[in-house]
Structure formats: C-alpha cells, structure tokens
C-alpha cells in the first residue's frame, strides 16, 4: 500500500485552483471513492447521485464541480471534477523517486552514456552508444539495444525491451513486458518458401507517451514506426511496422494496427479493434469496440462494426438483427398460407 501524504483542504484547493467551502484547515490524508472513503479522505462527485453518495460517506471533503446543495462536509469546487481528481491523486500519492545509480548486476557498454541522475536497476543491459537521459529509470531486467536514445524522466518498468536504434522521448512511461522495436511481420513467397524481408527501420516514440503492459511496437521495414506525442496505449496493443499514430490518441486494450496505416491526432480506438494495412484514418476519429476497419476514415467520423461503418448505421443494423427471428417466423407463416391457397 502506497503511503499517503497529509495536506490541508486549503492546500489542496490552491493546488487545484479551486474554491474552498468550509473549514480549509481540516487535514486530508488520502483520496478514495465514496463507497470506501475513510475519515480524512477526499472524495469526488460529478453527478447528483455521486454527490449524495459522497455526502453519506465517511470522507472529510468532497471535490466537485457544479452547483450542488449545501453540504455538511468541506467542499472544494473546481471546473472539472475528474480532471481535478487526476491532478489531486499525485498530491496524496507521489510517485516514488528514482534511486539514482547503477546496480552492480547491470551491464553497461563502455560507449554508452548514462546520465548521473539516472537509475539502472538489477540485471539491465545498456548497449553500445545508447544514451539514457536525466532522471530516467530502468526498473530491472531491461535490455536497451545499441544506438538507442532514451530521453529525460523516462520510466521503463521491469522486462521492457528496447531494440537497437529506437528513440524514446522525455516523460515516457512503458509498463512491464512491452517490446519496442521488434521486427515487423513481413515475408514474400519465393520458390515455394516464405522469405523474410529484413526490417531495417526503427521506432520513434514522442514525449509524454504511456504504453501499457505486454504491448509490441514493431520497427519500420524502411523508415520509422512513430507513436505521436502524448498518446496513451493500453495493455496488449500491437502496432505493426511503419504505422504512424498521431498526437494525443487513446488506444485501448487488444487493438491491432496492420503495417503502414496512419492514424490522425486525437483519435480514440476502443478495445479489440483491428485496423487493416495502408489506411489513412483522419483526425479526431472514434472507432468503436471490436470494429474491423478496412477503408480510410475521414476527419471526425465515428465508426463501429465489422466491417466498420458509420456508427448510427451500425447500430440500426444491430437493432434490425434482433428482429430477424420474428421476421423469419412471420415469413414462414406467410409461405405456409400461400401454399394452402395454392392447393
């Protein structure tokens, strides 16, 4: 269990640029949902239902937006309660500071450059000419290939593998078991046998990216596979060779991108969707869960289904499909009546 900090309600409000209503000197020692919050906790409310639950909880203060009824608890009023929650949590549960230095079991190539403030954990390998930036942390069991560039304030959780020539920007977090820069899947048929096409490109990951556990970002066949600045990838995501993901995209679990597809900025791709190769997906596109995308998608579109189509059309088809058993029954009855009339 992470040990929480202790702050006054006024200190929290100041950090969140919120308005304090009630006793600002009350001390807050944690943050919890209304159904399990304890005395000393801050909780949050986005709706009337959540506010009622927070009112009846053990929490000492409520983080909220909007004009809710007067409360017996201390209130911190902000513009957006969910955004404020994301900013409040690190106040109570700060990230562990990296223990700078190189573990005795780590292997660092003599030509590698490791910032003095970086942390290189147990059983890590840093290859020739690789560079590790300031305050970056390799938690353990990480392999950094030759000529890799790792920016500042990067966190690589255990067993993240970064193949040669990969570039990772600053403030990037990559969770356990993910592989960056493995070979793309590319073969040609030659005289009845599958001949591998060498993958000689690399991976470039922009600043402020987060990648979940057990994901795979393949290197480009020629050129680069690119993950744009600020994008967030969930666990078990596969990005194939030469894919370009735009800036600030949200990619949820078990999504797969086939080779050379380009995704615009601020897109959202829901779980278990598959994107075919060599497609162009526009900016601010939303792709619903379990969709199969086989064609280009214009800016701002919302699609769903297999094959993916405009989401309203897909939903109409889903509703219509629910009536098929009844329609089949009625058609059979009509066919029977026709046969009776013909006899």
Catalytic annotation, residues: 241
The sheet with strand 155-156 has its strands ordered as 101-102, 119-120, 137-138, 155-156, 173-174, 210-211, 232-233, 250-251, 268-269, 286-287, 302-304, 309-310
**ω into 307 cis (within 30 of 0):** yes
**Number of Cβ atoms within 10 Å of the Cβ of 210:** 15
How wide is the angle at C-alpha 85 spanned by C-alphas 76 and 23, nearest 5°? Answer: 20
Q: Which of 30, 31, 38, 35 is nearest to 58 (CA)?
A: 38
How many angstroms separate the CA atoms of 121 and 102, rounded?
Answer: 6
The sheet with strand 113-114 has its strands ordered as 113-114, 131-132, 149-150, 167-168, 202-205, 224-227, 244-245, 262-263, 280-281
Q: Which long-range contacts (CB under 8 A, 24 or more apart) does 46-53 make?
A: 46/81, 46/82
């Amino acid at each position: 269990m992470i040990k929480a900090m202790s702050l006054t309600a006024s200190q929290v409000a100041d950090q969140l640029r919120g308005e304090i209503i009630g006793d600002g000197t009350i001390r807050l020692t944690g943050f919890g949902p209304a159904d399990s919050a304890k005395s000393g906790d801050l909780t949050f409310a986005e709706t009337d239902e959540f506010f009622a639950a927070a009112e009846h909880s053990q929490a000492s203060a409520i983080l909220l937006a909007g004009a809710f009824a007067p409360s017996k608890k201390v209130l911190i009023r902000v513009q957006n309660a969910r955004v404020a929650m994301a900013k409040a949590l690190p106040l109570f549960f700060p990230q562990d500071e990296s223990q700078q230095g190189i573990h005795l079991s780590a292997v660092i190539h003599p030509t590698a450059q490791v910032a003095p403030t970086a942390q290189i954990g147990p059983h890590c390998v840093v290859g020739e000419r690789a560079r590790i930036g300031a305050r970056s942390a390799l938690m353990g069991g990480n392999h950094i290939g030759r000529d890799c560039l790792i920016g500042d304030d990067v966190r690589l959780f255990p067993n993240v593998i970064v193949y040669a020539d990969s570039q990772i920007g600053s403030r990037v977090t990559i969770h356990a078991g993910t592989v960056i820069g493995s070979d793309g899947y590319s073969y040609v048929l030659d005289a009845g046998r599958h001949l591998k096409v060498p993958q000689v490109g690399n991976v470039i990951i922009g600043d402020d990216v987060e990648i979940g556990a057990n994901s795979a970002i393949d290197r480009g066949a020629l050129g680069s596979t690119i993950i744009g600045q600020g994008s967030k990838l969930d666990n078990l995501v596969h990005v194939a060779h030469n894919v370009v993901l735009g800036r600030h995209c949200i990619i949820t679990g078990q999504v797969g991108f086939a080779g050379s597809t380009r995704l615009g900025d601020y897109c959202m791709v829901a779980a278990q969707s598959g994107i075919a190769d060599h497609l162009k997906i526009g900016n601010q596109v939303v792709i619903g869960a379990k969709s199969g995308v086989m064609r280009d998608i214009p800016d701002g579109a919302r699609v769903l289904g297999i094959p993916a189509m405009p989401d309203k059309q897909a939903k109409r088809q889903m509703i219509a499909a629910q009536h098929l058993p009844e329609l089949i029954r009625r058609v059979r009855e009509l066919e029977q009546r026709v046969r009776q009339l013909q006899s």
